[in-house]
Amino acid sequence: MADAGSDMADEGATGPPGPSGCPVTDWSTDFDHTDPQYAARAPEIWDELRSSCPVARSERFGGVWLPTRHADVASIAHDTDHFSSRGVIVSVFEPGPGPVGYAPPITSDPPFHETARRLLLPAFSPKAIRPLEPTTTALCRELLDDLVERAGEGGVADAAIEYAQEIPVRVIAHMLGVPASDGDRFRTFIHRIMETGGQNDAVDPADTLSAYLLDIIEQHRGSVTPRGDLIDFLLDARIDGEALDEDHIVGTVALLLIAGIDTTWSAIGAALWHLAHHPEHRARLLAEPDLLLMAIEEFLRAYAPVTMARKVAREIELGGRTLEPGDWVLLPFPAANRDPRAFDAADEVILDRAKNRHAAFGLGIHRCLGSNLARMELTVAVREWLLRVPDFELADPSAVRWSAGQVRGPRTLPVRLRTITGPSSEEAA
Partner 1 sequence: MRIRYDRDACQGHNRCYLLAPELFDVDDDGYAVLRVEGEVPEELRGKAQLAVDNCPEYAIGLDGD
The residue ranges that bind partner 1 (CB under 8 A) are 118, 121-122, 124-127, 293-294, 297, 354-359, 361, 363-365, 367, 371-372
Shortest Cβ 331–partner 1 spacing (Å)? 14
CB 269 within 8 A of CB 160: yes
Judged by beta carbon, residue 69 or residue 416, the one nearer ligand HEM is 69
Residues 60-89, interacting with ligand HEM (CB under 6 A): 77, 85, 88
Pick between residue 368 and residue 420 the one whose CB is nearest to ligand HEM.
Answer: 368
Q: Whose Cβ is closer to ligand HEM: residue 306's or residue 346's?
A: 306
Q: Report the 3 state secondary structure along 131-182.
A: HHHHHHHHHHHHHHHHHHHHHCCCCEEEHHHHHHCHHHHHHHHHHHCCCHHH
Q: Are 73 and 335 in contact (CB under 8 A)?
A: yes
- φ and ψ of 119, to 5 deg: -55, -40
Q: Which of 8, 66, 106, 400 binds ligand HEM (CB under 6 A)?
A: 106
- Residue 398 CB neighbours (<10 A): 10
**293 interface partner picked from partner 1, ligand HEM, none, CB below 5 to 8 A per type:** partner 1
Site size for ligand HEM (CB under 6 A): 27
354 binds, among ligand HEM, partner 1, none (CB under 5 to 8 A by kind): partner 1
Whole-angstrom CA distances from 113 to 14, 109, 187, 235, 368 are: 40, 5, 30, 20, 13
- Binding to ligand HEM by CB under 6 A, coded x per residue (else -) over 241-280, reads --------------xx--xx--xx--x-------------
Q: Please give the residues from 111 up to 130 whose contact with ligand HEM meets the rule CB under 6 A.
A: 117
Angle between helices 166-176 and 246-276 (to 10 degrees): 150
Residues 92, 99: Cα–Cα separation, whole Å = 20
Contact status, residue 352 vs residue 294, Cβ threshold 8 Å = yes
Parallel, antiparallel, or unpaired: how do β-strands 328-332 and 64-67 relate?
parallel
Is-cis flag, bond preceding 99, omega within 30? Answer: yes
Question: Between residues 137 and 263, which has the closer beta carbon with respect to ligand HEM?
Answer: 263
For residue 345, the partner it binds in ligand HEM, partner 1, none, with Cβ less than 5 to 8 A by kind, is none
* Cα torsion 17, 22, 24, 29: sign: negative
Partner that binds at residue 238, options ligand HEM, partner 1, none, CB closer than 5 to 8 Å by kind: none
What's phi and psi for 351, nearest 5 deg? -55, -35
Q: Provide, rounded to whole angstroms, the least separation between the CB of residue 89 and ligand HEM.
A: 10
Binding site for ligand HEM (CB under 6 A): 77, 85, 88, 105-106, 117, 255-256, 259-260, 263-264, 267, 304-306, 308, 333, 360-362, 366, 368-370, 373-374
